[in-house]
Amino acid sequence: MKAEVKLDDLPLQDGEGRKPSAAPARRERAAHAGRRSLLFRLASLFRSKGTFAHGIHPAYHKETGSLPIRRLPFASHLVVPLAQHIGKPALCCVNVGQEVSRGEVIATADGRISLPVHAPATGVVEAIGLMPAASGKMEECITLRVYQADGQEVRVRKPRDVDAMNRQELLAAIQHTGLCGLGGATFPAHVKLDVPAEMGIDTLVVNGAECEPFLTCDHRIMVERTQDLMRGIRYAMRASGAPRAIIGIEDNKPDAIAAIAAALPDDGSISVQALETKYPQGAEDTLIYALLGREIPAGQRPAAVGALVNNVMTLAYLGRLLPAGEGLVERVLTVAGPAVESPGNYIVPIGTPLRFLLEQVGATSSAKEIILGGPMMGMTVSSLDVPVTKGTSGVLAFAAAATAGEAPRVYPCIGCGECVKVCPRFLNPAQLGLLSGKREYVEMAAQFNLDRCFECGCCSYVCPSHIPLVQQFRVAKAYNRKNPVT
Ligand code: SF4
Ligand code: SF4
């Protein structure tokens, strides 16, 4: 799809839209020149789109991308897990019966690779114990009964002068926000940004690709919270030592590209680049290749090629929470899918049970399959008692007919090679699938680089025999993790 950016769609610059007082003609000419220059910059961005080899073009269903973010009401009870991030779970520091204020720390970080948890609502602690989690396991949670009559302002905050902080103080302050990767990776933000100087990070890559079908929360954040994002990028550059940042955005979001292009600083330290709309454009290695032309060697991290990747949602919340001295108590996420009557992007308190969330958006009784995240890499949940957590970027509801009722029959591999043509990691999914059928999981890793597979699902998507390749690879990887070769 060729994206078009119209002059009238561009956001107003400071001073535009007001009645001119002195020298109106000069001001008008300057404003017009500014707009023309921005338009030229945008046109050149769209001409030189970054991309990567292979990948797929699924149906995107991005209709909610044009809807403004809305706020959902509070559920009567919020269920807040202590483990919402990669790393050690937080340590509960409240008791049953204790009243808490919105924003108050209710669980403290347990060491460096851990995050505090803040009360998402003013209320009272009703229970502390095991509750169903998205993983399918029971996990330790704090259940709050929400004071519905309360205005639910964030009461506990400590505004900070971020510019006056040194790097260690900055990283400590980021940990205090409880922020982890909000794109779904949930890696603690302060740990990710704490890159040793000797690693020589030269570029902060800001991920605004949002390549998963249905998900549009990153899109709306870029359009509606542009200044938070720019502030968060500057904090992340200081914390990581990266001297420049590049924001990569798929070209199906021209309004986001325009909003960001209009907010870029004059010193050239932050730039924006349009990317081809193609899945999985937002994966770390494909994004780095598309923006910088650098390939990450097998088994290594982006730092090996001087890059650090952060998601736009994470950085927008960083820019919002850090100067306000607040903890993460809510997030913006997409609720969509054929079984949802009012799809959109919503501000949802952490701990909101899916059942309540789906009732609010009119998810009909035909919603039989619920996916957290996107349809390509998200996970199906089995209980509506599971709460929204920091890593929940989307909740998708599908009717039964779209899943189980239409589950395609699986046929043998016909050797068409379609899966090989789309794999962004240049693996041989057909060969891996054949070995998986024989349970030769160790051979899959040793000879065919199973560990390079990041479960994007492109191979399964195109397979005409409907072989559930990615599911097989997940099983094989889990087996190898439990049974390491010594
Ligand atoms: S799921 Fe793995 S093997 Fe399949 S296309 Fe993606 S990276 Fe390649
Ligand atoms: S796409 Fe499916 S049928 Fe074709 S080679 Fe790959 S596994 Fe075999």
Other C-beta atoms closer than 10 Å to the C-beta of 434 total 18
Least confident piece of the model among 121-135, 165-179, 397-411, 454-468 = 397-411
Closest CA to 75 of 156, 152, 127: 152
C-alpha radius of gyration, the chain, whole number: 23
Cβ pair 67, 139 in contact under 8 A: no
Taking CA atoms only, the protein residue closest to ligand 2 atom 2 is: 463
H or E element that contains 381: strand 379-381
Ligand 1 centre and the CA of 289: distance in Å?
17
Q: Which residues pair with 92 in a beta bridge?
A: 107
How far apart are alpha carbons 443 and 437 in whole angstroms?
12
Residue 202 reports pLDDT greater than 90 = yes
Q: How long, in residues, is the chain?
A: 486
Q: For residue 472, give the ligand nearest its CA.
A: 1
Atom of ligand 2 nearest to the CA of 412: 3
How high is the pLDDT of residue 1? 37
Taking CA atoms only, the protein residue closest to ligand 2 atom 3 is: 413
How high is the pLDDT of residue 461? 95
Alpha helices of 12-157 — where are they, by DSSP H?
24-47
Ligand 2 centre and the CA of 409: distance in Å?
14
How far apart are alpha carbons 259 and 465 in whole angstroms?
43
Taking CA atoms only, the protein residue closest to ligand 1 atom 8 is: 423
Instruction: For ligand 2, say whether the CB of 434 is within 6 Å of any of its atoms.
Output: no
Among 54, 409, 419, 427, residue to substitute to test ligand 2 (most atoms within 8 Å of Cβ):
419
Residues 129-155: pLDDT tens digits?
A: 999 988 788 999 999 999 988 888 888
Taking CA atoms only, the protein residue closest to ligand 1 atom 7 is: 453
Of the chain, the percentage scoring pLDDT greater than 90 comes to 78
How far apart are alpha carbons 302 and 292 in whole angstroms?
11
How far apart are alpha carbons 282 and 52 in whole angstroms?
11
The torsion of the CA quartet 218, 280, 342, 103, rounded to 10 degrees, works out to -40
Atom of ligand 2 nearest to the CA of 417: 5
Cβ pair 339, 243 in contact under 8 A: no
- Would you place residue 387 in the very low, low, confident or very high pLDDT band (cuts 50, 70, 90)? very high
Closest CA to 69 of 331, 260, 317: 331
Closest CA to 444 of 456, 428, 455: 428
Among 414, 432, 470, 472, residue to substitute to test ligand 2 (most atoms within 8 Å of Cβ):
414
Taking CA atoms only, the protein residue closest to ligand 2 atom 7 is: 430
Cβ pair 58, 124 in contact under 8 A: no
CA distance to 139, 181, 384, per residue, from 79 (Å): 11, 20, 12
CATH topology for 183-324? Rossmann fold (3.40.50)
* Cis check: omega of the bond before 280, within 30 degrees of 0: yes
Q: For residue 377, give the ligand nearest its CA.
A: 1
Residue 116 reports pLDDT greater than 90 = yes
How high is the pLDDT of residue 19? 43
Write phi, then psi, for 371 (nearest 5 degrees). Answer: -115, 130
How high is the pLDDT of residue 443? 94
The encoded tokens of residue 102 equal 């919105």
How far apart are alpha carbons 343 and 212 in whole angstroms?
16
Between helix 217-224 and helix 312-324 the angle, nearest 10°, is: 50
Write phi, then psi, for 176 (nearest 5 degrees). Answer: -65, -25
- Would you place residue 9 in the very low, low, confident or very high pLDDT band (cuts 50, 70, 90)? very low
Atom of ligand 2 nearest to the CA of 414: 3
- Would you place residue 187 in the very low, low, confident or very high pLDDT band (cuts 50, 70, 90)? very high
Contacts of 99 (CB under 8 A, 6+ apart): 122, 123, 124, 125
Return the domain boundaries, the chain: 183-324, 418-482
Write phi, then psi, for 114 (nearest 5 degrees). Answer: -160, 165
CA distance to 83, 285, 295, 447, per residue, from 299 (Å): 27, 11, 12, 15
How far apart are alpha carbons 283 and 275 in whole angstroms?
13
- Would you place residue 382 in the very low, low, confident or very high pLDDT band (cuts 50, 70, 90)? confident
Contacts of 329 (CB under 8 A, 6+ apart): 102, 103, 118, 119, 120, 121, 154, 349, 350
- Would you place residue 199 in the very low, low, confident or very high pLDDT band (cuts 50, 70, 90)? confident
Cβ pair 204, 291 in contact under 8 A: no
Residues 316-342: pLDDT tens digits?
A: 999 999 999 999 999 999 999 999 999
How far apart are alpha carbons 8 and 16 in whole angstroms?
13
Q: For residue 55, give the ligand nearest its CA.
A: 1
How high is the pLDDT of residue 42? 64
- Tell me whether residue 251 is exposed, middle or buried, using C-beta atoms within 10 angstroms of its C-beta: 0 to 12, 13 to 18, 19 or more: buried
- How far is residue 250 CA from its own chain's centroid? 14
How high is the pLDDT of residue 31? 65
Residues 11-62: pLDDT tens digits?
A: 333 333 344 455 666 667 666 666 666 666 666 666 668 898 899 999 999 9
Report the chain's mean pLDDT, rounded to a whole number: 90
Q: For residue 464, give the ligand nearest its CA.
A: 2
Atom of ligand 2 nearest to the CA of 459: 1
Cβ pair 397, 337 in contact under 8 A: yes
Ligand 2 centre and the CA of 483: distance in Å?
28
CA distance to 58, 289, 394, 434, 447, per residue, from 427 (Å): 20, 17, 29, 13, 11
Q: For residue 468, give the ligand nearest its CA.
A: 2
Task: Using DSSP, state whether 54 is helix, strand or coil.
Answer: coil
- How far is residue 123 CA from its own chain's centroid? 29
Residues 241-278: pLDDT tens digits?
A: 999 999 999 999 999 999 999 999 999 999 999 999 99
Instruction: For ligand 2, say whether the CB of 413 is within 6 Å of any of its atoms.
Output: yes
- How far is residue 445 CA from its own chain's centroid? 29
Atom of ligand 1 nearest to the CA of 419: 5
Residue 214 reports pLDDT greater than 60 = yes
How far apart are alpha carbons 177 and 165 in whole angstroms?
15
How high is the pLDDT of residue 397? 95
